A = this chain, B = another copy of it.
Amino acid sequence: MLKQPASAANGSTAAPSQGAEVQPLYKGRATLGMVAQRAGVSPSTVSRILNGTAKVSEDKQTLVRQVIEELGFRPDPTARSLAGGRTMSIGVLTQYIDSPFYGEALRGIEDVLHQAEYAPLFVSGHWNQEEERSRLGLLQDRKVDGIIVLTGKLADQTLVDMANQLPVVVTGRQLSAPNLFSIDFDNIEGAGLAVKHLHALGHQNVAFISGPLDHPDAEQRLMGYRAELARRDMPSDDALVVYSDFQESGGFRAMNQLLESRVNFSAVIAANDQMAYGARLALHRAGLRVPDDISLVGFDDLPHSAFTLPPLTTVRQSVYEIGASAAKAMIDLLSKKTPSTILIEAEIIVRESSRIFRR
């Protein structure tokens, strides 16, 4: 009954085989108890083998594993979590599930977590502190084993408190607390790189299209721009900075605003590529050529940026790596190891939208 000849098992010769062996992938039936019974051991033994919680004799090991194979048994995460407390899932708070910027980070997280047999549970906060809190609540309810927060607007203290309950990894800030690990984006450095690049090309008057200031990335990038300007004694006129929303349409409007203000500039940095795209079109509509009349630099190096007209000079940092590192850090935290600090540096990708200044 237990071991049938292959012919019977695969049913290729006999009547349509039924039961265990052919169960389609998506029918997860067998329980730990059934495995135990069929193997003639106690449930605890099976559990131990599964989790390596204690030594089990060789023979029983192999026997049980074999039965597990036969039955296609897969432990029920739900039950596991109720009993043991761990769900093998990690909450990930992002802002928009379809963000072109953070999307890559999600992929990094997913890849790394999957290897470690954890599953990510993605929720979106929409850059709204209230929502972020409520989604965090949802994650807690679902008993995630840890939480990764991609930037957002939560108070630092909220995160630190949360780290009392479970491991937390957060991007976009520099925080230090027990059970909490943070990975900052290289925004300040990155914006500095853009300024440096333009300065090297001879530009002095560099305008900046900023993101919304209540947005951490935006704030940091603006800060980086200002700092580098100061460091190089470049003119830092308030009129050189306009504020927008990180969208293409916003970049378009911001550029027009800059143009109308009649402030003098020979180059523009947009705080993200999307706004750079919009700005580029506005420039075109105004009869200005890029880079001949105005140099343009973006930030993020979205996949499209290598193919715009002209291809966009931009600041790049591997968001995928940041996501992956966040996930690795989480795994470390879960195993009580101290995550190693990795620095993911920004770099400037020089393409054709920026050129040497000529008056």
Contact = CB atoms under 8 A, between A and B. Distances in A.
A118 to B, nearest CB: 11
A78 B76 contact: no
B25 A133 contact: yes
Taken together, the copies of this chain in the complex come to 2
A107 B122 CA distance: 11
Interface in A17-35: 24-28
* From A25, A26, A74, A110, residue with most partner B Cβ within 10 Å: A26
A311 interface: yes
Contact of A307 (B100, B103, B277): B277
A137 B307 contact: no
A50 interface: no
B97 A87 contact: no
Contact of A98 (B103, B124, B161): B103
A178 to B, nearest CB: 16
Interface string A140-154: 111100000000000
Contacts of A100: 98, 100
B82 A97 contact: no
A143 B107 contact: no
A139 to B, nearest CB: 8
Interface stretch (A182-190, A216-224, A278-286, A336-344): A278-286
Nearest to A117: B138
Given A100-B100, A137-B25, A119 B110 contact: no
A79 B82 contact: yes
A202 interface: no
Contacts of A25: 133, 136-137, 140
Interface string A182-226: 000000000000000000000000000000000000000000000
Nearest to A124: B110
A128 interface: no
A242 interface: no
Contacts of A281: 307-309, 311
Interface string A1-31: 0000000000000000000000011111000
Contacts of A307: 248-249, 251-252, 277-278, 280-281
A274 interface: yes
A141 B278 contact: no
A135 B143 CA distance: 21
Interface string A222-253: 00000000000000000000000001110110
Interface string A82-122: 10000101000000111010011011001000000001111
Interface in A281-331: 281, 284, 303-304, 306-309, 311
Contacts of A110: 97, 124
A245 to B, nearest CB: 12
Top-3 shortest CB links A-B: A98-B103, A248-B307, A277-B307
Given A97-B103, A107-B124, 12 more contacts: A25-B133, A25-B140, A26-B161, A74-B137, A77-B142, A82-B82, A97-B122, A98-B104, A110-B124, A248-B307, A277-B304, A277-B307
